[in-house]
A and B are shown apart, each in its own frame.
Chain A
Amino acid sequence: GENVEQHPSTLSVQEGDSAVIKCTYSDSASNYFPWYKQELGKRPQLIIDIRSNVGEKKDQRIAVTLNKTAKHFSLHITETQPEDSAVYFCAASPHNFNKFYFGSGTKLNVKP
Chain B
Amino acid sequence: EAGVTQFPSHSVIEKGQTVTLRCDPISGHDNLYWYRRVMGKEIKFLLHFVKESKQDESGMPNNRFLAERTGGTYSTLKVQPAELEDSGVYFCASSPRLAGVGEQYFGPGTRLTVT
Contacts and interface: CB of A to CB of B under 8 A. Distances in A.
A98 B103 contact: no
A61 interface: no
A43 B40 contact: no
Contact of B91 (A9, A31, A44, A103): A44
B58 to A, nearest CB: 8
B42 A103 contact: yes
The 7 A-B residue pairs with the shortest CB-CB distance, nearest first, are A102-B43, A32-B101, A43-B108, A104-B42, A99-B45, A44-B106, A102-B42
A67 to B, nearest CB: 20
A46 B43 contact: no
A34 B93 CA distance: 14
B109 interface: yes
Q: Which of B91, B97, B104, B109 has the most CB of A within 10 A?
A: B104
Interface of B: 3-4, 31, 33, 35, 40-45, 48, 55-56, 59, 91, 95, 97, 101-109
A32 B42 contact: no
A100 B45 contact: yes
A102 B4 CA distance: 19
A13 interface: no
